Amino acid sequence: MKLEFIQNLVKPADSKIVLLVLDGLGGLPSGPQGRTELEAANTPNLDELARRGICGLHVPVGPGITPGSGPGHLGLFGYDPTEYKVGRGVLSALGVEFDLQHGDVAARGNFCTVDDEGLVTDRRAGRISTEKNEELCELLREIEVEGAEIHIETVKEHRMLFVLRGEGLSDEINDTDPQETGKKPEEPVPATEAAQKTSRLVKEFLNQAAEKLADHAPANMLLLRGFAQRPGWPTFQEAFGLRSAAIASYPMYRGVAKLLGMDTLEGPASIEEKAAVAREHWDDYDFFFIHKKSVDSRGEDGDFEAKVRAIEEADAQLQALLDLEPDVVIVTGDHSTPAQLAYHSWHPVPVLLWSEQCRTDGVETFGERDCLRGGLGARLPAVDLMPLALANALRLDKFGA
């Protein structure tokens, strides 16, 4: 649904909306008794909310399309990710409060492990510590290239930020991350003539980075992806009339929130702690985006049982959010990350919505197969969640006479 259409229907109200994103929530039936991670988890609080609310499965981008985290979240926030496109580099930059200027080109970096033949053996370098990351970023800051400034920042664990600043730069170059092990990093190939300079600078930087990191296994190489320049979009408040706050601990998710003009509050790890932050700022905002990363991380690790435990941990702490007495609660993920695949997938994502105004649908437990028969449908476009949230919060006017 077009933002311009919704903007014309938005009306003020005192209601509060909470969106809880359990990153990578969706899974595949690969565990005991052929259940998904969510189905295998003991989730009494989510099940009770599902019974009182309305459930379904949402499609983050489109049928069969595997979304990155950026597009996945943009869809949840009501921005069609096929229309509002941004590379991960911008989100990473904003997430660490980097002063990204007009014309800068930013990329998300992963420290990785390569073998003696230059083949990637671990795309995340064993998830090195943030402290080790900081040491390596200090080394990379010694690199200079002719024709641009280089800015390097630690993000978290194996993730870092790479920014080029100078004249005549372009973000139209491909990722160097091959997205799988057993392959060499890709070359930063330009897609247009205008990107030739940027491609040359990135290649020169990576060549020097390989020399700097050679003796620092497991983090002995660097992969770059999501080259991007900052776009100018309508803010969340302009689109939906909501004063919004993001409570997320990972910089990337803080970045996508900041890109839309949300305020980013302190992002502690647990949902209980995030609920305490929301309570402290409850009167200042109408919309709270609360993010939990560990569900996705355990899925990417291919660890079914650990993902189950991460979901159970979220369920055990859900009551802290409900105690805030929001008018609308949505619980979902930005995409599916089945432990069976150990990566993002195209599978629709479980979603539940509760408000005093919603119609219950008879779903008794919150899981993929139960959500198939939920009232929200089995193929709900993610961009339609925000209009539904606004309607249930009594924040949308009638359309037409």
Look at 384 and 95; give whichever has higher pLDDT: 384
Nearest residue to 67 via CA among 230, 189, 58: 58
Taking only the tens place, the pLDDT of each residue in 291-320 is 999 999 999 999 999 999 999 999 999 999
- The answer to whether residues 257 and 129 belong to one domain is no
Residue 80 located in a structural domain: yes
Q: Is 147 found in the same domain as 54?
A: no
pLDDT band at residue 268 under the 50/70/90 scheme: confident
Helix (H, G, I), strand (E, B) or coil at 301: coil
User: Which pLDDT does position 31 carry in this prediction?
Assistant: 65
In angstroms, rounded to a whole number, what is the distance separating the alpha carbons of residues 61 and 146?
A: 40
- Identify the domain boundary among 228, 243, 262: 228
Examine the domain organization and report whether 157 and 265 are in the same domain: no
- The residue out of 173, 201, 228 marking a domain boundary is 228
pLDDT in tens, 2-29: 898 999 999 999 999 999 999 999 999 9
Q: Quick one: 42 and 135 in the same domain? A: no
DSSP collapsed to 3 states, 47-60: HHHHHHCEEEEEEC
Burial degree of 138 (CB within 10 A; 0-12, 13-18, 19+): exposed
Mean pLDDT for the stretch of residues 65-94? 92
Question: Of 178, 62, 183, 160, which is closest to residue 111 (Cα–Cα)?
Answer: 160
pLDDT score at 255: 87
Residue 338 resides in a domain: yes
pLDDT confidence tier of residue 96, bands split at 50, 70 and 90: confident
Q: What is the domain-level CATH number for residue 375?
A: 3.40.720.10
Flag whether pLDDT at 62 surpasses 90. yes
Residues 311 and 370 in one domain: yes
pLDDT digits (tens, 9 = 90+) for 159-172: 999 999 999 999 99
- Residues 118-154 have pLDDT tens digits of 999 999 999 999 999 999 999 999 999 999 999 999 9
Q: Check residues 232 and 378 and name the one with the higher pLDDT.
A: 378
- The Cα angle at residue 154 between residues 149 and 156, in degrees rounded to 5: 150
Looking at residue 159, its pLDDT comes to 94
The total number of structural domains in the chain stands at: 2
Same domain, 251 and 288: yes
Gap between the Cα atoms of 82 and 62, Å rounded: 9
Question: Does residue 60 lie within any of the structural domains?
Answer: yes
> Looking at 228, 262, 281, which one is the last position of a domain?
228
Domain span at residue 146 reads: 91-228
Does 148 fall in a domain? yes
**pLDDT (tens digit per residue) in 182-234:** 999 999 999 999 999 999 999 999 999 999 999 999 999 999 999 999 888 89
In a domain, residue 397? The reply is no
The pLDDT mean for the chain works out to 95
> How much is the pLDDT for 95?
81
- Is it true that the peptide bond before 218 is cis, omega within 30 degrees of 0? yes
103 and 217 in a single domain? The answer is yes
**Pairing status of strand 54-59 against strand 377-381:** parallel
pLDDT score recorded for residue 32: 67
Same-domain status, 293 and 370: yes
pLDDT of res. 232: 81
Q: Which residues contact 206 (CB under 8 A, 6 or more apart)?
A: 176, 185, 188, 222, 224
Query: Is residue 346 helix, strand or coil?
Result: coil
